[in-house]
Chains A and B, each alone.
Chain A
Amino acid sequence: MIVRDWCMYCGECAGVCPRNLILLKETELVFDDSKCRECNICIEICPVNALEK
């Protein structure tokens, strides 16, 4: 997953990932890509469109 530099580190994507794969450090988003099902839920929910596959 590509996190664009305007990510606000709000954690909303982490709250909706059905597989719980997104961990927000204070200013870093860590994805467990190996288990990602590419459902795109995190990409679609982001209020500022900061995620890209």
Chain B
Amino acid sequence: MHWRNSDIMIETDVLVIGAGPSGSIAAKYAALGGANVILIDKKSEIGSPKRCAEGVSKEGLKFLGIEPQPIWAVKEIEGIRLVAPDGTDVWLNDEIKLPEAGYILERKVFDKHMAMDAGRAGAEIKIKTLAKSLKKEGDHYIVSCESMGKEFDIKTKILIGADGPESHIGRWAGLKTGTKPKDMESGVQFEMCNVKMKNHSVLEFYFGSVAPGGYVWIFPKGEDIANVGLGIIQTETDKTAYEYLVDFVESCPATKDAKIVELNVGGDPVGGLVKDLSSDNILIVGDAAGQVHPLTGGGIINGMTCGMFAGEVAAKSIKNGDYSQKQLSEYDKRCKYLLEDKMNKYLKVRDYLASLSDDELNSIAATFQDVEFEEISAVELVKKLVKISPKALLKLGKLF
């Protein structure tokens, strides 16, 4: 990062860098709380290209007070199907409780709508605007930006880093963002049509050597349309994520005749929460802060919930005229209360799952055939796993 001074200086209370779902909702709540807010994103189209399988829980959206709109909530999900390497499958759908039932989004539309909500709440939005460097001066940050060939600085009392997996903002400000390769799910996905799922209202997950350190997903977006993708931990293998996906798609009965209409690529930081989520005059949210479910890789709802907290805390700090770490640490407390225990548990489950061979997974799936599930949730699955597998009991018994 090389600091560059510019002649033009814009001043604001709160600057949010990154108009993903986490940044947009942070900007919205900061503006609703009465602060002057600027939301910038380097993209020319918010939400595009997507880097996501687009699954969210109904509960999560409800908690955020977001009413699902047919234009971005394109498919309702009623259950899941888990598939072992030998094809043995476990269905969790009819007649059980569905706390993790959800929607498949059209992220390109959803992200844009979330930014619009921020705009309607009063935030100024600047697209195609890149934050290039920053420096702390007295009781504010100055961020050097570039937009359409013009350079300018933004002077802000509070900076919210919502810059996704790249997570430069936190690192430039001395926070420990950035992801170790062993904690970065390397993701590749095709959006496809002509997909032949057994039930196009369930999410499918495939485990084992098809995706070392991760899993393959088929998330339906319509009757024959689906996001087919996978995440792997690249340090576990020499093959690229792309090569794994091509192999999977050619061999899986649901996708071998399907047609690709889109390629998506991206990293998903699954190593857990970054240690400090704030410092004087700065907060970090979303993927940039590690607010991603370590097991599923889902980060939309967590990131947005913490984004809402960040916006509220920023607005309160502006009102009080105090932008110190002490004041902002309310944000750390709220995020950690919501996520820390849960994440630490699931980090252990992730390690455990990654340690299983294809044979072990097959035998777990076989035993699961006779298990009655009371609800569809990751917790329920792990609880049942601990009951049937001595190895799971040993590693996870105390946690679940």
Report which A residues bind B (CB closer than 8 A): 8, 10-12, 14-18, 20, 23-26, 41, 44-49
Contact = CB atoms under 8 A, between A and B. Distances in A.
Contacts of B42: 24-26
B198 interface: no
B164 A44 contact: no
A18 B180 CA distance: 8
B240 A46 contact: yes
20 contacts: A8-B49, A8-B265, A10-B51, A11-B267, A14-B166, A15-B166, A15-B179, A16-B178, A16-B179, A16-B180, A16-B181, A23-B132, A24-B42, A25-B42, A26-B128, A44-B235, A47-B234, A47-B266, A47-B267, A48-B242
Nearest to B189: A47
Contacts of A48: 188, 240-242, 265
A49 B179 contact: no
A14 B168 contact: yes
Contacts of A24: 42, 166
A11 B181 contact: no
Contacts of B172: 20
B186 interface: yes
Contacts of A15: 165-167, 178-179, 184, 267, 269
Nearest to B239: A49
A12 B240 contact: no
A46 B239 CA distance: 11
Contacts of B181: 16, 41, 44-45
Interface string B149-188: 0000000000000001111100110000011110010111
A50 to B, nearest CB: 9
Contact of A18 (B178, B234, B240): B178
A38 to B, nearest CB: 15
B184 A16 contact: yes
A8 B172 CA distance: 24
Nearest to B287: A15
Given A26-B42, A44-B181, A47-B188, A10 B128 contact: no
Nearest to A14: B166
Given A45-B184, A46-B186, 19 more contacts: A8-B49, A10-B51, A10-B266, A10-B267, A11-B164, A11-B166, A14-B165, A15-B166, A15-B179, A15-B269, A18-B178, A20-B178, A25-B130, A26-B43, A44-B234, A45-B181, A47-B188, A49-B240, A49-B242
B186 A12 contact: yes
7 tightest CB-CB pairs across the interface, nearest first? A12-B267, A47-B241, A8-B265, A15-B165, A10-B266, A11-B166, A14-B166
Contact of A11 (B180, B264, B266): B266
A34 B152 CA distance: 26
B382 interface: no
B52 to A, nearest CB: 11
Contacts of B267: 10-12, 15-16, 45, 47
B61 interface: no
Interface in B89-135: 128, 130, 132
B263 interface: yes
Given A16-B179, A26-B42, A47-B187, A8 B263 contact: yes
B44 interface: yes
Among A12, A14, A48, find the residue whose CB has the most chain B CB atoms closer than 10 A: A12
A5 B205 CA distance: 32
A42 to B, nearest CB: 9
Contacts of A49: 240, 242
A11 to B, nearest CB: 4
Interface string B205-234: 000000000000000000000000000001
